[in-house]
Amino acid sequence: MCGIVGIFARSNVNQTIFDALTVLQHRGQDAAGMVTCEGDRFFMRKDNGLVNEVFRTRHMKRLMGNMGIGHVRYPTAGSSSSAEAQPFYVNSPYGIALAHNGNLTNAEALADDIFRADLRHINTTSDSEVLLNVFAHELQRLGKLTPTAVDMFKAVEEVHKRCQGGYAVVAMITGYGVLAFRDPYGIRPLVYGKRVVDGKVEYMVASESVALDTSGFERVRDLVPGEALYIDNEGQLFLQQCATQQTLAPCLFEYVYLARPDSIIENISVHSSRMLMGVKLADKIKKERPDHDIDVVIPIPDTSRTAALEMAHALGVTFREGFIKNRYIGRTFIMPGQTLRKKSVRQKLNPIASEFKDKVVMLVDDSIVRGTTSKQIVQMARDAGARKVYFASAAPEVRFPNVYGIDMPSATELVAHGRSAEDVGNYIGCDWMLYQDLDDLKACITELNSDIKEFDTCVFDGKYVTGSVNAEYLQKLESKRNDDAKTMADSDSDAEEDASADLHTRIN
């Protein structure tokens, strides 16, 4: 899960990219980066940290140009080294910068192929750098002194043939234009829009429509699976399908948790889909426990608020805000280590005791991943005086790892892996555990857009839509994603950065 943005304008784009990345900050809190282009020169700034920490006034002054791309990142393999911050850059051919949201499932094989056959060097462990070099090699093979839109699309076509997994990409070619494309399954979101300034059209492409809204761009549409968009340095827009086969199968978890509620993905309001999730949960409660004794429905802020409100309304039960959230603590789902996650929950949420005392409480969350946060929240509710604590998840059981760009834990660290709903309820300490049914979750989307026939549901049912994921790959992923591996990776990363800082001190 990362956030990307690309812009072609008629004046400096640094502030617009900054603003777009700020509203996409929920998609990654680990690092941020921006590359702009003025004439035939690139200007880059990237580092670990939040957007407003990475870009200071002195950096913004140097980021000149009317074209640019940006990225907010969270690590997909546990590493938080600043060397992995995006965008990445290669100087051959032309000079290309690229940022990417997603994950290539054949990155290791590609990296070896790039070294042995394409004679290119990969400097990091990031699959985004692999993807950049694949694209650069395919563009270079065309041998054009001045590349055209046709050349860009031909190179993307070859990328689709070589790369497997989920990916949404923005790239910039020095002095030529901005390029964006989406994988043939449309797993990760990508939308474009336009605005008119002084009679001239400007374009933006981004992970979510909210980035367009806040900068005054009118949303046009999502890029379809396999499609590429190119804006040349004259401001001409070109669109072309670059995949020989394509199937729309968007990630269901975008609607459950990842996306902002004010975004529109595949012509679906994320907010509206979450309202339906609450209605479907209420219907399940009526079916399973028509004589339920719920006194109050309380959301676990912020993502579950919409579903909880609609559940309460459909049940005819009181809705209350029972937890106060500290706005200065990041999203615990994307924190790198289990120790840090455990510590942050009590810093992040504090209960309002009067909303719990002597009541039967239904807590609602968007999903349950490890169960660590849920367990602590249930205990908070009990400590605040709740008579009974029920727990509902707007998503089905998360039992399998995601391989398309969401850094979920290894399968053995997922609380629902190999457990029933009752087992999970016992683990987190609630009196009744309720999960959304997968078919109901799909219906929350298809009822709003009947054109969508398939989804990426891998975290719920272990079915990987690209068909390229095998047991060996999942075993390797398991070894990279467990907490011990992440702790080691973070330690190595800290050591590398300390050594780098020491070297910098000695040089200066």
Residue the block writes with tokens 């349950």: 368
**Is 365 annotated for ligand binding?**
yes
DSSP 8-class letter at 445:
H
**Is 124 annotated for ligand binding?**
no
Buried b (16+ CB within 10 A) or exposed e, 10-49: eebbbebbbbbbbbbbbbbbbbbbbbbbbeeebbbbbebe
CA distances from 239 to 9, 146, 149, 221, 228 (A): 18, 19, 9, 12, 6
Q: Catalogue the active-site residues.
A: 2
* Cα distance between residue 307 and residue 297, in whole Å: 10
DSSP 8-class letter at 250:
-
* Cα distance between residue 129 and residue 118, in whole Å: 14
Length of the chain: 508
Indicate the helix (H) or strand (E) that contains 490.
helix 483-507
* Cα distance between residue 31 and residue 3, in whole Å: 11
Token pair of 204 as six digits: 């933006």
Q: How large is the C-alpha radius of gyration of the chain?
A: 23
Residue the block writes with tokens 């100087």: 91
Contact 181, 205 (CB under 8 A): no
Contact 332, 343 (CB under 8 A): no
* Cα distance between residue 46 and residue 144, in whole Å: 30
**For residue 325, what are the β-bridge partners?**
349
Q: Which residues are annotated as a binding site?
A: 303, 365-366
